[in-house]
Amino acid sequence: MNKILFSAVSKKFVMALAGLFLLLFLPVHLGINLMLLKSDPEPFNTAAHFMATFPLVKVVEILLILAILVHVTYGITLQILNWCSRPVGYAVRNKSDTSAFSRFMIWTGGSVLIFLVIHFFNFYFIKLGIVEGDPENFYAVAQQLFVIPSYAILYWICFLILGFHLYHALQSAFQTLGLSNEFWKPVIRVISLIYAIVIPLGFAIIPFVILLFK
């Protein structure tokens, strides 16, 4: 039993499951964020209040934090082991025909993690009471942040990087869970592409609208 718990294939399996759980959460988060486009703060603040207080959401929230921790910890652990598997590198860079999105997952993932930490300081930690702020009016907090052009640009860059990460992530998760074959592989690729464009684009539209039209 120890062998399955500590094998690289199992670690990948757990990482893929945690990653898929995070991928399921993103559309929910986007749905709430899109309410920021309304000039009335009420719907957004009500949704944020519901997410902060409804008991079932609290359970999901704990699972989400766990999923982030597991995904990040396993991602870093596996990456270090992978670097150790080739102590002496090549003099000529590997020119094998692979997608650039897949080669830089640790770096795109790391960038998303940095964004997540900033995001937690701006919102989540206010809710937890760690950072000062009004947890009942996240609408105002978001509006104030998005009118700062440098913050909006940083936000766009982060979501572009997230898109790169998601495009490979979804395909990779299906492959790791053994849910890919010669028939489904191209289908999964198209689904991944759509997901990786629609979700980050949805988030990126919000500061764009606020910055230009409000």
- Residue numbers of the site for other proteins (CB under 8 A)? 1, 3-4, 6-13, 78, 81-82, 84-99, 102-103, 105, 168, 171-172, 174-182, 185
Nearer to other proteins, 56 or 84 (CB): 84
Q: How far apart are CA 157 and CA 149, in angstroms?
A: 12
* Cα(155)–Cα(209) distance, integer angstroms: 13
Look up tokens 């902060």; give the residue: 52
Beta carbon of residue 26, minimum distance to other proteins (angstroms, whole number):
20
Which residues fall within 8 angstroms of residue 185, CB to CB, at 6 or more apart?
A: none
Smallest gap from Cβ 67 to other proteins, in A, equals 19
Residue 1 CA to residue 158 CA, distance in Å, equals: 40
Those residues whose C-beta lies under 8 Å from the C-beta of residue 159, and which sit 6 or more positions away, are 200, 201, 203, 204
**Which element (helix H / strand E) includes 159?**
helix 149-176
To other proteins, the closest distance from the beta carbon of 18 in angstroms equals 15
CB of 206 to other proteins, least distance (A): 31
Residue with smaller CB distance to other proteins, 98 or 150: 98
Residue 74 or 146: which CB sits closer to other proteins? 74
Under DSSP, is residue 178 helix (H, G, I), strand (E, B) or coil? coil
Nearer to other proteins, 11 or 71 (CB): 11
Q: Using the minimum distance from each CB to other proteins, give the nearer residue, 3 or 40.
A: 3
Shortest Cβ 177–other proteins spacing (Å): 7
